């Protein structure tokens, strides 16, 4: 059937960008992260977790021992010890790492060491090439145990660094930071530095989303115009980081910007699916982190438009459940089992929605009037039992709504 191919494409497109979504009829749904939020430990976290962390100089590739012949070995000389829980390391000491890294004498690298469970010897891992600048950066980096706001005050000063090592780490730091902590940097988050990174041809595509979000925190209306132009560029391809550009745009423009997204990406059925999905992700992000830059009901309004996209109708229904939007009961009953919506995931999502809509608020008193949506939900649940007892029973049994 046609819906199966489109649904498969939709799920593959989501999976291709590292997003994970569950059947929305389940009791617990793991919602996808934004494109820039794929977790990558910072170097400060590596230092804190490692049994040893050193700056070392490349010496040679060793192929003499049996182990080295099997998998290769690179020899280094320790130049500086950042941490050593064993107390056995010393500057000038030679160490061997079980992999082949080409280089020339004197090249600097950082090595992480972990004690072997068997003999407690340090097993080394390659942390990456280093420069004098990046070594200084690592040595002065704040502990990951202090408040994130204080950490960002250090890292924000390196936002325009051209050192690849530092650039990688700065992205990991800010990608894992809460939006509120980024906002609290205030004037320390320099608009010029962020915009330079956002628009530079040298910026890796995987970082565009983060810089798009950050310009939404510190930018101005000229930046909003730039973001709008990028968002509206005609495309049929997946654009890494487009969700971050959309988030930044809405942080700067609010309701007016959401009107633009509605027209171009949400209501427009000719828009590439992945762009529409990015817009849906943006709605989710604004709900969780937008601090009511856009009011909840306005976000619900945009999400409701996506009910018509049957490839993602089940996901949309689950979002509206979380957002306690009980205004679509009549619409969902008309959709149930009709045309493109007559597929198991959508039917389960609708059944779960109706069952959840019958729950009384936790603060309801015994003499309180029962809300209309609860009465209507009870009526519709009974109708669904008559129409499709199997699906309703399955939802009740498996997903415990």
Helices (H), 200-254: 208-218, 221-231, 242-253
Q: What is the pLDDT of residues 197-227, one digit of tens each?
A: 999 999 999 899 999 999 999 999 999 999 9
Q: Is residue 391 within 8 Å of 383, Cβ to Cβ?
A: no
More reliable by pLDDT, 21 or 10: 10
Residue 239: its pLDDT value, please? 93
| List of long-range contacts for 125-133, beta carbons under 8 Å, 24+ apart | 125/97, 126/74, 126/97, 126/99, 126/101, 127/43, 127/46, 127/53, 128/165, 128/168, 129/165, 130/55, 130/165, 131/163, 131/165, 132/108, 133/161, 133/163, 133/166
Q: What does the mean pLDDT of the chain come to?
A: 88
Percent of the chain clearing pLDDT 70 (strictly above): 89
Residue 240, Cβ density class (10 Å: 0-12 exposed, 13-18 middle, ≥19 buried) = middle
> Which residue, chain included where needed, has tokens 């050193």?
54
Residue 120: its pLDDT value, please? 76
Q: Can you say whether residue 241 is alpha, beta or left, with left for phi > 0 and alpha for psi between -120 and 50 degrees?
A: left
Residue 32: its pLDDT value, please? 55
Give just the sign of the alpha carbon dihedral 88, 91, 93, 98: positive
pTM for the whole structure? 0.84
More reliable by pLDDT, 124 or 256: 256
Residue 98: its pLDDT value, please? 80
Residue 100: its pLDDT value, please? 84
Q: What is the pLDDT of residues 154-200, one digit of tens each?
A: 999 999 898 999 999 999 999 989 999 999 999 999 999 999 999 99
pLDDT band, residue 13 (cuts 50/70/90) = very low
Residue 226: its pLDDT value, please? 98
b/e for 139-154, b at 16 or more Cβ within 10 A? eebeebeeebeebbee
Residue 365: its pLDDT value, please? 74
Residue 87: its pLDDT value, please? 86
Average pLDDT of the segment spanning 222-241: 95
Q: What is the pLDDT of residues 33-57, one digit of tens each?
A: 788 886 688 889 988 889 999 999 9
Q: Can you say whether residue 8 is alpha, beta or left, with left for phi > 0 and alpha for psi between -120 and 50 degrees?
A: alpha
Average pLDDT of the segment spanning 280-297: 96
- Extract the tokens encoding 303: 């999400």
Least confident of 28-32, 84-88, 107-111, 140-144: 28-32
More reliable by pLDDT, 89 or 2: 89
More reliable by pLDDT, 288 or 8: 288
Q: For the sheet with 52-62, list strands across it.
A: 94-97, 73-84, 52-62, 108-115, 122-129
CA distances for 91 relative to 54, 84, 108, 168, 248, angstroms: 9, 12, 14, 27, 47
Residue 115: its pLDDT value, please? 87
Least confident of 82-91, 180-189, 264-273, 372-381: 82-91
Residue 68: its pLDDT value, please? 53
b/e for 268-281, b at 16 or more Cβ within 10 A? eeebbbbbbbbbbb
d(C-alpha 252, C-alpha 150), whole Å: 25
Q: Is residue 340 within 8 Å of 310, Cβ to Cβ?
A: yes
CA distances for 165 relative to 127, 161, 214, angstroms: 10, 9, 21
Q: Is the pLDDT of residue 18 over 90?
A: no
Q: Is the pLDDT of residue 355 over 80?
A: yes
Helix pair angle (273-289, 2-16), 10° resolution: 60
Residue 23: its pLDDT value, please? 41
d(C-alpha 47, C-alpha 45), whole Å: 5
Residue 96: its pLDDT value, please? 85
Q: What is the pLDDT of residues 79-138, one digit of tens each?
A: 999 889 888 899 999 998 888 888 999 899 999 998 887 777 888 888 889 899 999 998
Task: Provide φ and ψ at 345, rounded to 5°.
Answer: -60, -40
Q: What is the dihedral of CA 308, 244, 168, 163, to 10 degrees?
A: 150
């Amino acid at each position: 059937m046609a819906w199966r191919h489109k649904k498969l494409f939709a799920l593959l497109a989501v999976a291709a960008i590292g997003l994970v979504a569950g059947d929305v009829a389940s009791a617990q749904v793991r919602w996808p992260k934004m494109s820039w939020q794929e977790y990558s430990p910072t170097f400060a976290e590596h230092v804190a977790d490692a049994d040893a962390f050193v700056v070392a100089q490349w010496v040679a590739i060793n192929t003499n021992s049996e182990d080295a012949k099997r998998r290769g070995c690179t020899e280094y000389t320790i130049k500086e010890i950042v941490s050593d829980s064993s107390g056995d390391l010393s500057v000038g000491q030679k160490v061997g790492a079980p992999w082949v890294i080409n280089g020339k004498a004197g090249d600097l690298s950082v090595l992480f060491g972990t004690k072997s469970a068997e003999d407690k010897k340090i097993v080394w891992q390659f942390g990456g090439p280093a420069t004098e600048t990046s070594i200084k950066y690592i040595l002065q980096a704040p502990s990951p145990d202090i408040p994130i706001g204080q950490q960002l005050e250090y890292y924000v000063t390196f936002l325009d660094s051209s050192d690849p090592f530092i650039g990688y780490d700065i992205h990991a730091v800010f990608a894992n930071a809460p939006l509120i902590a980024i906002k609290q940097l205030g004037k320390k988050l320099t608009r010029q530095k962020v915009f330079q990174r956002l628009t530079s041809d040298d910026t890796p595509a995987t970082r565009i989303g983060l810089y798009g979000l950050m310009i939404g925190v510190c930018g101005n209306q000229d930046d909003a115009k730039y973001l709008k132009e990028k968002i509206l560029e005609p495309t049929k391809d997946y654009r890494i980081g487009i969700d971050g550009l959309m988030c930044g745009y809405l942080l700067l423009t609010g309701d007016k910007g959401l009107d633009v997204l509605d027209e171009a990406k949400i209501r427009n059925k000719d828009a590439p699916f992945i762009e529409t999905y990015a817009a849906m992700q943006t709605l989710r992000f604004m709900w969780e982190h937008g601090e009511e830059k856009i009011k909840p009901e306005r976000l619900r309004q945009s999400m409701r438009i996506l009910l018509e996209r049957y490839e993602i109708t089940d996901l949309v229904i689950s979002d509206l459940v979380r957002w306690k939007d009980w205004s679509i009961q009549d619409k969902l009953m008309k959709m149930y089992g009709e045309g493109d919506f007559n597929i198991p995931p959508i039917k389960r999502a609708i059944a779960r929605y109706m069952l959840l809509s019958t729950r009384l608020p936790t603060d309801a008193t015994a003499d309180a009037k029962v809300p209309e949506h609860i009465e209507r939900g009870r009526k519709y649940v009974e109708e669904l039992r008559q129409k499709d007892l199997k699906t309703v029973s399955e939802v009740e049994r498996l997903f415990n709504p």
